[in-house]
């Protein structure tokens, strides 16, 4: 089965950044495997007139989630560094809406909806279906999908082949899938047309 996107669809590419890919500061195993799959979805979005949103983790150097401040993570996705850049093979359209998050030192934000205008932008654009892929399944993908699932009238699809988990504890990725399903998101195995 294949899926056709229209102007009532939007793609949300979550944190497809160098630091979350192999060789990066907070590498997700096989993280870069999502890139070619998401490129197919981007192509389908362009063809169908669907909007593309790309979130990025965008931390100041002294972000509270970093180990030196007692947080759980090594420094990653520091603003304006190569690690914070989108993966070089990700074929983002010129009119991609970039959503930066966790850009303040004393606030953590895993969800692309946290503190920004994304929900309002989707509403204003008349988006009825949101397609989500990216990194990491058990953090920013999960948090973004759970928030999206709360938006009235928005159908939320998770592109199952285009997400990868950090798995700080074994099973975190699978638990995230369950949580997203329970929230009403549709785990999508189909490919774009």
Q: How many CB atoms lie within 10 A of CB 67?
A: 10
Give the x-and-dash track for 139-158 against ligand VGL (CB under 6 A): xx------------------
The CB-of-126 to ligand VGL minimum distance in angstroms stands at 28
Q: Which of 9, 15, 57, 114 binds Zn ion (CB under 5 A)?
A: 57
Supply the residues annotated as catalytic.
15, 101, 140
Q: Among 65, 58, 32, which residue's Cα sits nearest to residue 112?
A: 58
- When the beta carbons of 4 and 69 are compared against ligand VGL, the nearer one is 69
Q: Return all residues near 34 (Cβ < 8 A) that are at least 6 apart.
A: 16, 133, 134, 135, 162, 163, 164
Residue 188, interface with ligand VGL (CB under 6 A)? no
User: Going by DSSP bridges, is the β-strand pair 97-101/51-57 parallel, antiparallel, or unpaired?
Assistant: parallel
Q: How many CB atoms lie within 10 A of CB 37?
A: 17
Q: Among 54, 52, 132, 45, which residue's Cα sits nearest to residue 86?
A: 54
Q: How many CB atoms lie within 10 A of CB 177?
A: 21
Q: Among 148, 103, 109, 137, which residue's Cα sits nearest to residue 11?
A: 148
The CB-of-166 to ligand VGL minimum distance in angstroms stands at 6
3-state SS assignment for residue 37:
helix
The CB-of-136 to ligand VGL minimum distance in angstroms stands at 4
Q: Which of 73, 86, 113, 131 binds ligand VGL (CB under 6 A)?
A: 73
Residue 53, interface with ligand VGL (CB under 6 A)? no
Q: Which of 9, 10, 15, 145 binds ligand VGL (CB under 6 A)?
A: 15
The CB-of-119 to Zn ion minimum distance in angstroms stands at 21
Residue 19, interface with ligand VGL (CB under 6 A)? no
Partner whose binding site includes residue 135, from ligand VGL, Zn ion, none (CB under 5 to 8 Å by kind):
ligand VGL
Residues engaged in binding ligand VGL (CB under 6 A): 15, 26, 57, 73, 135-136, 139-140
Residues engaged in binding Zn ion (CB under 5 A): 57
């Amino acid at each position: 089965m294949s899926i056709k996107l229209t102007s009532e669809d939007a793609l949300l590419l979550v944190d497809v950044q160098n630091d979350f890919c192999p060789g990066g500061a907070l590498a997700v195993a096989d993280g870069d495997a999502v890139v070619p799959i998401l490129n197919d979805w981007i192509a389908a979005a362009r063809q169908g007139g669907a909007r593309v949103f790309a979130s990025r983790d965008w931390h100041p150097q002294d972000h509270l989630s970093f180990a030196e401040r007692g947080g759980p993570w090594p420094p990653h996705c520091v603003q304006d560094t190569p690690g914070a850049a989108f993966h070089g093979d990700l074929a983002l359209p010129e009119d991609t809406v970039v959503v930066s998050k966790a850009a303040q030192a004393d606030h953590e934000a895993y969800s692309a909806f946290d503190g920004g205008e994304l929900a309002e932008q989707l509403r204003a654009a008349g988006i009825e279906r949101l397609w989500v892929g990216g990194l990491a399944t058990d953090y920013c993908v999960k948090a973004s999908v759970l928030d999206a699932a709360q938006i009235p009238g928005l159908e939320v699809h998770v592109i199952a082949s285009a997400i990868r988990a950090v798995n700080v504890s074994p099973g975190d990725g699978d638990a995230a899938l369950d949580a997203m399903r329970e929230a009403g998101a549709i785990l999508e195995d189909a490919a774009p047309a």
